[in-house]
Amino acid sequence: MRVDIVSIFPEYFAPLDLSLIGRAREQGLLRLAVHDLRDWTHDVHRTVDDTPYGGGPGMVMRPEPWGEALDALAPDELAPDGLTLPRLLVPSPAGAPFTQALAHELAAESHLLFACGRYEGIDQRVLDHAATRLKVTEVSLGDYVLFGGEVAVLVILEAVTRLLPGVLGNAGSLDDESHAHGLLEAPMYTKPASWRGHEVPDVLRSGDHGRIARWRRDEALTRTARRRPDMIAALSPEILDKRDVAA
Ligand SMILES: CN1CCCC[C@@H]1Cn1ccc2ccc(-c3n[nH]c(N)c3C#N)cc21
């Protein structure tokens, strides 16, 4: 997967050299490039913002630098290095909720292009024009307000990269994690068996894999019902009716 990120704070993405994302890049599973939007300005002050039409507080990101950046990073013709037309992701509090389902959808793309807004946001015409030739998705992390899109890109990129084949050593670890099947994950334990008077549930030490799987499924259902009743309502019937969870 190729990923391009455009931001006025490219240094925000230094953490992408670390951990599993850094290793995915070394393994060639992820080709990532971060670009400074100001490289597409032409004035001495490298201006990227201006006052909003219609008045109001703050500044809006100018369309010209964004237009040139997207032209350069999403060229109409197939570039010599195999650049395909990317899917444009624009973090925004007005975007569609970012979910595990969307993470899986994005993990299937060959080229993602992230546009990180700041100030009051990006001039709407940038997105409207991009949509004439790219798939554009405005996406939101949640119902709260951040300073800009960079944090959202870090979150989205981590959620997507871990789904790429070969990134997680034990792909099985994706199977029962929270949100993998519409449920929260069951509680997890490790040694010692007894810690400050708290014991590991006996079933997990029984060696009976069928019982353990059923216990984990029941715990996941109980935890989800208590903490996220909205997820229970959205469960597919087969998950609720699943009788034998043993493999
Ligand atoms: C504060 N300021 C005036 C009100 C509108 C937003 C603006 C700040 N801002 C500028 C670009 C930008 C992109 C994403 C987000 C964002 N906030 N919350 C989320 N879940 C987000 C995502 N994903 C915020 C952004």
At 247 the pLDDT is 36
Residue 96 CA to residue 217 CA, distance in Å, equals 30
- Confirm whether 171 is domain-assigned: no
At 243 the pLDDT is 46
Residue identifier of the C-alpha nearest atom 18 of ligand 1 = 145
Ligand 1 atom closest to the CA of 92, numbered from 1: 14
Mean per-residue pLDDT over the chain, rounded: 92
Higher pLDDT, 244 or 159: 159
pLDDT digits (tens, 9 = 90+) for 117-128: 999 999 999 999
d(CA 121, ligand 1 centre) in Å: 7
Domain carrying residue 201: 176-246
- Confirm whether 124 is domain-assigned: yes
Residue 228 CA to residue 212 CA, distance in Å, equals 23
At 246 the pLDDT is 43
- CATH number, domain of 211, equals 1.10.1270.20
One domain, residues 226 and 106: no
One domain, residues 189 and 78: no
Question: Which of 146, 150, 156, 158 for a ligand 1 pocket mutation test, highest count of atoms within 8 Å of Cβ?
Answer: 146
At 244 the pLDDT is 45
pLDDT over 50 at 152, yes or no: yes
- Confirm whether 181 is domain-assigned: yes
d(CA 244, ligand 1 centre) in Å: 45
One domain, residues 155 and 183: no
- Ligand 1: residues with CB < 6 A are 91-93, 95, 117-118, 120-121, 140-142, 144-149, 152
pLDDT band per the 50, 70, 90 thresholds, residue 240: low
Residue 162: both structure tokens together: 């871990």
d(CA 206, ligand 1 centre) in Å: 49
pLDDT band per the 50, 70, 90 thresholds, residue 77: confident
What pTM does this model have?
A: 0.91
Percent of the chain with pLDDT over 70: 91
Which domain-ending residue is among 107, 129, 161?
161
d(CA 65, ligand 1 centre) in Å: 19
One domain, residues 109 and 214: no
pLDDT digits (tens, 9 = 90+) for 80-95: 565 579 999 999 999 9
pLDDT digits (tens, 9 = 90+) for 13-41: 998 888 888 888 899 999 999 999 999 99
One domain, residues 30 and 146: yes
One domain, residues 41 and 104: yes
One domain, residues 146 and 226: no
At 235 the pLDDT is 85
Q: Which amino acid is at 15?
A: P
One domain, residues 144 and 214: no
One domain, residues 134 and 228: no
Work out whether strand 60-61 and strand 49-50 pair parallel, antiparallel, or are unpaired.
antiparallel
One domain, residues 195 and 125: no
Domains in the chain: how many in total?
2
Angle at 217 between CA 182 and CA 96, to 5 degrees: 10
One domain, residues 181 and 59: no
Asked if 11 contacts 45 with a C-beta cutoff of 8 angstroms, the reply is no
Residue identifier of the C-alpha nearest atom 2 of ligand 1 = 120
Which domain-ending residue is among 161, 195, 210?
161
d(CA 55, ligand 1 centre) in Å: 19
Query: CB under 8 Å to 17, separation ≥6 — which residues?
Result: 25
pLDDT digits (tens, 9 = 90+) for 197-209: 999 999 999 999 9
Q: Which amino acid is at 215?
A: W
Residue 178 CA to residue 220 CA, distance in Å, equals 9
Which domain-ending residue is among 103, 132, 161?
161
- 244 phi, psi to nearest 5 deg: -105, 110
One domain, residues 113 and 231: no
- Confirm whether 167 is domain-assigned: no
Question: Which of 144, 145, 155, 156 for a ligand 1 pocket mutation test, highest count of atoms within 8 Å of Cβ?
Answer: 145
